[in-house]
Homo-oligomer: A and B are copies of this chain.
């Protein structure tokens, strides 16, 4: 077997696996948007059967043999060539999969497929007791999973590695700590500022059908391709890729509040534009995949906040907005932009402003770490949650529904996922700065309705790269330096100093 033959076998094996895995994406989309109530038990079984199959394929010993051949006589010397990047990622996935027995892989899929609907049912009632057994099972399986992976010191790092390769607690803690200090200081100054945004502008009568019409127009203008996607409504918005030409998003409408659907959909369309910009010719291999969850989040947050909450954006879209919602005509773009950027500590992460958002993540990161260090039990989790919210955000939950049960992530066993949200914000600010160095100031372009230059830059520098680089490397290659929290801190200070006249 030559290295070329081995590589070709790996391509074909993984491409076929990816086709099968992509049916899992459809099962998940349907589970959250379409499935009838009585269909959940069967869906959990389908997902478990698929997880078993995918685990078998991921641990096929022939992968190890072919990888050894390709690694022994590499096809390319460039460490970031498609061939070398694919081999690196296949090796990583193979090692991680072979450390996990089938029983555990299937158990995790089953527990997640049962946990999510259990959470969805228990949350509205605030029924922590009903949900806790599911969470306990997931936590115990994830702990077992983490112990089977390789890590130094922190078991939690084994989970981080799945979502954000090469990130560790040791790397994140100083960055998060610098960010937190800056945010707490900025928040204090904002609270003391005399000027207040007219947030009542965003409350009123926003019929779903008009919201949807406006949103469809806006995200199509930004660059989301509806020919290769669709927009539905769900309780919990998400983006999901079934495959090339089929990248779906969902949103949630609040007919008395403008923000959730509008900014939520732009957020999801940011994820979707990334997926729609991945190199289709490498589909089925790592080179055709997104770089990481953090890089993914950098795309959604950039479009949601740095673009759609900018003055330039609203200089262009405001006249259109008051055609859809005539009440807006009483205001102007500047007052509107101040309103959509209002800072107010709140209980709910997905409704948080840019200044407080990362504090919500710190809460989760620290609690997850405590759970995996064995310093916190599930019984004490709700109280620990509430305490941190009081400490960092100065708010108190009125129950678990808006407290510890607000997110779906843990219900699917996704511990270690939350830090990627803050990483996304950090990456976004650093990438945006690099884009402006090349393209010039972006807001004047937005003000003329030109979003294509930014999208084009992201397409070339991020989307088209697939997973050739690991996330940290990608940031370094594209921006010329390591991840640096100064970009996000600087962006937030400038923006909010201006808005609040600090």
Contact = CB atoms under 8 A, between A and B. Distances in A.
B245 A38 contact: yes
Interface in A236-295: 242-246, 248
Given A30-B30, A226-B36, A229-B36, A246 B20 contact: no
A27 interface: yes
A244 to B, nearest CB: 5
A246 B42 contact: yes
A53 interface: yes
A326 interface: no
Q: How large is the interface on A (under 10, 10 to 19, 20 to 34, 35 or more residues)?
A: 35 or more
For A49, A229, A230, which residue has the most chain B Cβ atoms within 10 angstroms? A49
Contact of A228 (B36, B49, B248): B36
Contacts of A52: 16
Contacts of A245: 36-42
A19 B45 contact: yes
Contacts of A53: 20, 53
Contacts of A22: 42, 46
Interface in A20-68: 20, 22-23, 26-27, 30, 34-43, 45-46, 48-50, 52-53
Nearest to A22: B46
A204 to B, nearest CB: 27
A224 to B, nearest CB: 11
Interface string A217-233: 00000000111111000
Contacts of A228: 36-39
A20 B50 CA distance: 7
A46 B23 contact: yes
Given A30-B26, A30-B30, A20 B39 contact: no
A105 to B, nearest CB: 15
A338 B255 CA distance: 47
A42 B225 CA distance: 16
A109 to B, nearest CB: 12
Nearest to A18: B49
A229 B52 CA distance: 27
A38 B227 contact: yes
For A53, A226, A245, A248, which residue has the most chain B Cβ atoms within 10 angstroms? A245
Contact of A36 (B23, B27, B227): B227
A36 B225 CA distance: 10
Q: Which 6 A-B pairs have the closest CB atoms?
A: A39-B246, A38-B245, A42-B243, A19-B49, A38-B228, A39-B245
Interface of A: 16, 19-20, 22-23, 26-27, 30, 34-43, 45-46, 48-50, 52-53, 225-230, 242-246, 248
Given A30-B30, A36-B228, 16 more contacts: A19-B46, A19-B49, A20-B50, A22-B42, A23-B50, A34-B230, A35-B246, A36-B245, A36-B246, A37-B227, A37-B245, A38-B225, A39-B242, A39-B243, A42-B243, A42-B245
